[in-house]
Chain A
Amino acid sequence: MNGSTAKPPIVIQPDEWSGLAAAIVQRARLMQALYADLYGAQTLWHRQILDASLLYSNPAFLQEAWQLPAPGGIGINLAAFDVRKMAGGYRLAAERLQVPRGLWRTLELRLAASRANPESFRAQKVQRLAHFFKRLRDNLDRLVPHAGASVLLAAEAQTPERAEDAALSDYLSLPLVENDDLAVRDMRVYMKTLRGLRPVGAIFRRVEDVMCDPLELRVDSGEGAVGMISALRAGNVGMMNALGAGALENPAFKPHFARICHELLGEELLLEDERAIALGDAQAAEAVFDEPEQWEFVQFDHPGRRIVYGALTPTAQLALMREMLAAPAKYVAIEHRAYEKEICFFALNTLAGETIAMPGGYTADGEDVWVVSEGEVKEFSLLAAADEPIVPTRAGGDLPSRAAANLAALGRLLANTDLNARLARGLARRLADEDWIERSEIPALVQALGSDASGLADPFAALRAFTLRGDYRGSLAEGIAALARIVPAVRDRISGDLVAALARLTHLAEPDGDDPVALLPYLAQIGSLVAEAYGHCASSMTRGYEWRFLEIGRRLDTAASTLKLMRNLLARQFRNGRDGETAAAAALLEVGDGRLTYRRRYGSRIQLAPAVDLLLCDESNPRSVAYQIAALRQLSHRLPQHADADALFSPLDRAIIRLLADLRLADCTALCTDGLDGFLDVQAQSVAAADELISRAYLDHAPRPGVVHALVTEV
């Protein structure tokens, strides 16, 4: 964020803060007490203080969380409170407990505001936030029951919340995992990494309650956390906040907090809620229905969404009224009042039994909140001090399997796009020529596009579809669309330059027309953008696992696609006689990017055997199959070893060595006379087998060819 655009901060003076902090701390303790009662003894209900509907028709009440043990008895660790400053003081608007978002926003705004106003920041003795984060991090580690790493369970890569989670995990030095990075074995939670399964001790979750176990909660919540509830019940993993916290966010609690505070804490409530009326209470609801424009409405299923009655069109007002009268028990009315600011504050209930408020926060309008200190401000930062000695290391660390799989996918897609663009160019160039109809290699090129019989009848249409249609399987456009989808998932692991190059590639302007002549510059541009992306990989990525898996994906795909290309272009039925052979060899050299080398070596006479040798067996040609396999041999050397590392060669080593030997020993002249098709097929199978071995060993520890959700039905 640019410092000059930062808004001036909201400043809270010490005396004001001491009252506010006490109120926030009390609220956090209250939430914890309510959580414990709600999922435990339920005294508030047994004593008829609260209505049963707040339990059993509360859509966020999680019966699976009933009497779920929480480390130290603390279910609500971190709490976020949206507090409105209005005439008459502060009022609580909402509490966010399942996923208290905004921590990173606070830091981000603080950074910007302190940079924009460094003098006043220092002069005013603004209290630092880092200490709160340190406590948060320490508290997480204390949730670990036996042993294991603390991790941050992030929202999915495509969601807008992901950036916050990535930044937060970075700041707190927590490995970021997604649901699919996890595996539950023997009622313990593990993280799938290149080195195998690593135990997880505590989870800072950034996903909602229902997304935590597909066996018992939402069926579509990902496959990694199957059995999470068993692990939690067994006390084998800690979670912050505990499952079921969402039930407390229900606005139907609002009218009752003063009473709840009195009952559970024996204290007067310091921070009042906005005035709220549950419409299920028919008597109280009358006042609301008399003057609905004075109220905002919240439906239980969407506790975060407020409907301001006065802001609706008359039709919408009527519809809302009808819905509310049909099911009043599902709605709460909150007084519609003007407010000056909405500030988000955070508090933490620690396992040590202490509750602390973060001295600061942010406003809904994007302002930093400064809490001014009377005394000295302790300098403290979670960011390591600049003069702390750093021991040089070359270790790349470990990598979650999903990240490795995504990087391999990026490599594959780049290789695929590269070859497909050259293939399309080869065809476009020929179709742009007026004598195209006489060229014998065109059917072979069309076949190589993966087109069916209709493509052979109309090669122009086939080329158009292949180049521009994202819905056409295996097409160039489909590959580019897949690239666009994978970039967000690998963004934090590749350089900014590479991200930028990929963005240009995936947001390329459409060509001016769809005839071959118009497509040619478009295809050339794709080729050079892929080359640029490769360049960034080669020059800016350290040779750690990230680079290694990107390369592995690239090499595997290049080998497989080149073999497939040869199989298609050189298929028997398309090369009749010497002319046919020459045309096919020329097309192969062009698409395979071997023309220059060929001419230098053999002059202008084009024959099949030397062309095949160049693209199949020549290890000095970076486009050849043999080059890819030799590169794979180098790459796989440095992968983490698994259980069968004791054997001299792992199954993967053996598969690659065999492939390399086959290619080195191949006699291209003989093969071109007889047996080329069969040879190419065998090599393609071997490449696929090596691919499978890599996937099994490193990318998915429990290979999952498809998950079946089975429900036994009774009769």
Chain B
Amino acid sequence: MTKLLAIDHETTYEYEADVLCSSHLAHLCGRDTPRQRWLQRRFAAVPEPAALQNRIDIFGNTATAFAVECAYRRFSVTCGGLAEVGEQHLPDATPPWEEVAAAAPHDLEAAKYLFESPFAPVDATVRGYARESFAPGRAVRETAEELMHRIHADCRYAPGTTRIGDPPAAILRMRQGVCQDFAHVMVAAMRAFGIPCRYVSGYLRTYPPPGMPKLVGCDATHAWCAVWCGGDAWLELDPTNDRLADSDYPVLAWGRDFGDVSPLKGVISGGGKSLLKVAVNVNEREEKNE
């Protein structure tokens, strides 16, 4: 079922000393996908950027480059908008993974996500972990879902225990991490057997316990992955929650790994220590009046 989601996302940095100037790159303008259409998009930074440039990157995302050239101590980026998000069109019967792997180098779109990448290196640990799921002749969807179940069962969700940049092999050794880590593990594991896999950045809409009011700002930016099943079929899986992405998963951007789609990065001059606050709200709207 398609949902109309209103998304508010605010990122704030408080600095202990003056920041003199800063340059940033954001991937916060959501992209349209086969199951998702943005009706409105918002993006604003305070202090106001001296220059701002939107561009489409090689993965089809909108990247926003901007620079702030006045001194400040507080920096905030608000973004979001209104998106129509639908369920995945799930392919019922997918080919065996070997067939998909054989086709991958010849599909230029899929091949972007076929090779190892800086945040998702493939090594013997990753390959060894994944092997069990790649039974000969198994359908690629079944393979991917089984791998997702295993990652979810084997790894504990433990914020603060890992750092961005920890390679999948290290996550597998520690058996814990956050959504980015599990997405990277899955991405690397699929690629280890020649299956293209995207790293997807977006949001996750959460539900309060029954009878409780929803807290403001409790939703989160999220990361999952999309496995190529041949042709135009990509299967979005969330190893963190062991489920297929659905209309509660609005997409921002996708790439080979976190490095391609990091929501907001920057080079900041001055500033000293900083305090980061991120607040995300994803709320369902009544169907819009046509």
Contact = CB atoms under 8 A, between A and B. Distances in A.
Interface of A: 42, 45-46, 48, 51-53, 55-57, 63, 66-67, 184-187, 214-216, 223, 226-227, 229-230, 233-234, 702-715
| Closest 4 pairs between A and B when the two form their complex, measured CB to CB | A52-B111, A57-B115, A66-B58, A714-B221
A705 B112 contact: no
25 contacts: A52-B106, A52-B111, A52-B114, A55-B108, A56-B111, A57-B116, A63-B260, A66-B57, A67-B58, A185-B69, A186-B67, A214-B267, A215-B25, A215-B265, A215-B267, A226-B267, A230-B23, A234-B53, A703-B270, A704-B270, A707-B267, A710-B265, A710-B274, A712-B278, A715-B221
B180 interface: yes
B269 A704 contact: yes
Given A223-B269, A233-B55, A712 B262 contact: yes
B49 to A, nearest CB: 10
A227 B65 contact: yes
A552 B176 CA distance: 57
Interface string B232-276: 000000000000000000000000000010111111111110101
A710 B268 contact: yes
Interface string B7-26: 00001010001001101110
Interface string B173-188: 0000011100000000
B222 interface: yes
Q: Is the interface of B mostly helix, strand, loop or mixed?
A: strand
B264 A184 contact: no
Contacts, number: 122
Interface string B52-71: 01010110000001010100
Given A233-B53, A712-B262, A704 B20 contact: yes
B65 A230 contact: yes
Most chain A CB within 10 A, of B13, B55, B114, is at B55
B281 to A, nearest CB: 15
A46 B107 CA distance: 8
A192 B220 CA distance: 42
Contacts of B21: 702
Contacts of A226: 23, 267
B105 interface: yes
Contacts of B105: 51-53
B283 interface: no
B51 interface: yes
Interface string B81-117: 0000000000000000000000001101001101110
Given A45-B108, A187-B51, A702-B20, A707 B265 contact: no
Nearest to B116: A57
A328 to B, nearest CB: 14
B159 A227 contact: no
Nearest to A68: B55
A52 B116 CA distance: 13
Contacts of A42: 108
A709 B220 CA distance: 23
Nearest to A65: B58
B206 to A, nearest CB: 12
Given A215-B65, A704-B270, 12 more contacts: A52-B106, A55-B108, A63-B260, A227-B23, A227-B65, A229-B65, A230-B53, A234-B53, A705-B17, A706-B270, A714-B220, A714-B221
